[in-house]
Structure 1
Amino acid sequence: MLGIKAIAHYVPETKRDNLEQAKGLGRDASFIKEKIGARFLPVLAKELQTSDLAVAAVRRLLRKCRLEVEDLDCLCLCTQTPDLEGLPHTSAIVHSKLACASRCAAFDVSLGCSGYVYGLNILAGFMQKTDLNRGVLITADPYSRIVDPEDANTALLFGDAATATLIEKDGIFALGAATFATDGGRMDVLHKKNGRLHMNGRQVFNFAATEVPRQVAQLLSASSLSKDEIDLFIFHQGSKFIVETLARKMRLPSEKVPIMLNNTGNTVSSSIPLILEKYLNREDCRTLLLSGFGVGLSVASMILWRNE
């Protein structure tokens, strides 16, 4: 059965000081520390593109797993900030920069904060159907390119990052049940217009605080699991406040709900794998629940089972 074998990441070394940014945008230090939860926000260098961010993560994955680029059968790139306005697909550019074999498939998935859960299921389904052995799910979004530096709703929140997840047979974690929900009627709550990101933070918060607990309850019921049987709940790191709110509403112990955005901010589809990488080899983490939510508006949740 296909599953997650390894994860690597790339976070740019250049970072914005979020406390300094906040001063110029009329926000105090307590807002950054208690609500946002991100002290620093990584920023991709101006001369680099989304494909460069993705390539850096894949190269780290290859080194980590002692693989050659010729060993890869498929690349799936989840991004909403593509190179060259999206044509050609950015995964083809990544394919070229990595010098992948011509037989290596490459395709993009345009999703935001729910993208990692979607991407795992899309890539695994594609690989199973086409009998491929080794694929990589890449998440890469330099939102610094589309954030208005004068907009406190977004400028204090998003950081640039990329991750690469190796999907193989007999991975460390098997992919379990998944469930998805979309409310396209509220697409204007989080959208891009004239090259800039626009977000109604209150509406995104209300959506997540309502829909995520509902979906998690449905997924647990469908999987015949109780909350106590989940070792770790990995939520999209939208902000410290939203993750804490979800934990409180679902009555989850804080030790089961990691919050890790102090040095990265909200990294969109990369936030879940950035946390998952840290727990991948923890034997005490055997049953995990992932949940991503945001742009769309969209929610996607799934179970991961540690293989024996």
Structure 2
Amino acid sequence: MGTVETSAADAATDRRQLMSVAYRLLGSVTEAEDAVQDAYARWYGLPRSRREEIRSPAAWLTTVTSRICLDLLGSARARRERYVGAWLPEPLPDRTEWERADGVDPAGPQDPADQIVLDESVTTAFLVVLESMTPAERVAFVLHDVFRYPFADIADVLGRTPAACKQLAASARRRVSVARTPVRTAQADVVRRVKEAWENKDVAALVGLLDPAAVMTADGGGMVGTVLRPVEGDARIARYMVAIADKAPGLELLQRSVNGVPGLVARRDGVVVTVASFDVVDGSVTRIWVVRNPEKLRSWAVAG
């Protein structure tokens, strides 16, 4: 990609790559879209002569997008300290899955979430672990281990030596090694059984599907009612889930992919109001992440 002018196909591919990088770095579709838009604005703000000197616009845009994300990650911690309750990554729907199930027009309005490639590096479990890293660790790890960028290029993003970037990625890798396991095919069956037990308000069945040390974390952002602290233990989670079902008549539960993994979605009057992700180990649910903040469910309005 050695010229300033690129084809529409190249531009679409570049944007998809940039959105995929930015979402993994930020855990937010909205913030990822803003970062990518900012990077493109800086690109087109360059004098034409400067753009002509850049041999790979895609590499330049990736570097700039990553730097913007690094700056956002630095300020995100302070913002999240003021966040009401737990902060969870923004969940992603599989648009094609909704089209097949609900007959939605595939030529309908596009959403930034559609541009993000779904794989094991975008599961909720993986993104939650990324949140535990320092901004520099996260950038080094995502760019190198997920997108295979060389440490020499990552050094330009972080303003550190390649050796220092390698150490950052290694430190991050130790944190993520447990979470980055292949999704087992049994997860879909376990989630289906959770759905059935939840619909039937069957506490005993839910307890049987949950690991004794399971943890449920909910994100309402202070905008809708939900627990502000994680709920721990199979029995407590089961009772809480049944209590929710009692207080929310008319909810429609659907089994749908969440960040590429089987999850559950709750709709009321056709509107998605809750998205739940699950981590399943050896046939038992170990973690449940529930997003109810409507600002984080905008992509689901397009999908659903």
When the two structures are superposed, what TM-score results if normalisation uses the length of structure 1?
Answer: 0.27
Q: In terms of Rg, which structure is larger?
A: 2
When the two structures are superposed, what TM-score results if normalisation uses the length of structure 2?
Answer: 0.27
Q: Which has the higher strand share?
A: 1
Larger RCO (CA under 8 A, 6+ residues apart) = 1
Q: Which has the higher helix share?
A: 2
